[in-house]
Structure 1
Amino acid sequence: MSGSFEYKPRFTDIRVKPPKPEEEAAAKDVLRLKPGEIPCEWADCSRPATAKAPKSREQINLFYNFCQAHAAQYNKAWNFYAGMSEGEVRAAQENEAMTGGRPTWDMKVSRNTREAAGSAANAAHAAAGSWQDSYGLFGRRVNESAPSGPVMSEAEARMGKLERQAIGELGLEPGATKADVKARYHELLKRFHPDLNAGDRATETKLQHVIKAYKTLKKAGYA
């Protein structure tokens, strides 16, 4: 190539200036919670919470505070009937169809009213065997059995869905103390560490689940 047509770059030294201290502070401030904002309750998330999700079927009026992305992820996996037997699911669906999920109350009257006197008379006749309530209109049917399925403990009912999953991931039962959770966490860290399992990917995945479960419990105040 002739010297008259030699390429000469216009810029021979391109340098990127480091950000100024005030620019770095502004960038960090974007991720900082503003006054009045609360953090997302999802493990490893520090974004502000903008959505609510019910904690569990037993705590339908108590909510998690999530950012929009984690609220969508939580709701996608939500199953209202999880953990219920087939009979319990059917009973819950029938109750929803009849009452719309709203609570109902017994209609009670004073003992001195005519209706109360009539009910007492009917009860006396029933005790004497003069009639039978074959269709269970005035009380629960004799042959009706209690719903089957596992009974949830009080400690388990107080926990939200995420905390129940996390406590199960650590192999503990609801009601475990903070000391129990920490001791179990450190035990599982040693057991599933890849260096102790010849780099087994299965134990590495389990280790990640254990760490996430512990962070979930710690964020909720159970560890």
Structure 2
Amino acid sequence: MKTDSPYFDRIRVKPEDDRRARARPGTRVCAHPNCDLEATHRAPLGRDREGEFIWFCLDHVKEYNASYNYFAGMNDAAVAAYQKDALTGHRPTWSMGVNSWTKEGRRPEPRASAGTGAGFDPRKGADPFGLFEDAEWRQPGARAPEPEGRMIRNAERKALSTLNLDIHATAAEIKARFKELAKRLHPDSNGGDRSHEDKLREIIQAYNYLKSVGFC
């Protein structure tokens, strides 16, 4: 409608209060005092009352949410303890390697039984198929020999493979290979071609991981 229309001045808009929905019979009314609008939005009641809600109209739910504080009434230490417990879903936890049957956290040694124990050696038993001819037997309680060199985990093997290196690569070799690949795959070395960015990102992530675990 044009502003010079004879009907323009006859347009009337209802006040904001009139346009808001009043609660109809049988519907939920806003919980805010002296408000008779329909409650269309719910808000949480607070800590220790999870799953319970209070209902407001749109304006009053905004007001309620603006001042809502789940940790109201808790000091800083209590809030920090609550947030720490929330990491495990407020469930009890135990240290790794600690078991209920002993304070030292070690499983008790099994009792020797017939055919077993310190004097038992399976290599002296019958082995018609020769399955244990090359088996290395250790007496109960004896520890396996420690592998030479550093332990290589799957994540470290994958990172080294990404850099086209084997598990025996030195720190200097890792750094040199990273610099070589980063320079080769960088867009500036390829006339602005960004098609190798995904591979470059993998190279950077692999190097950063190896660096974080002390490989370089």
TM-score (norm 1): 0.35
Greater relative contact order (CA < 8 Å, ≥ 6 in sequence): 1
TM-score (norm 2): 0.36
Per residue, is there more helix in 1 or in 2?
Answer: 1
Task: Indicate the structure (1 or 2) with the bigger Cα radius of gyration.
Answer: 2
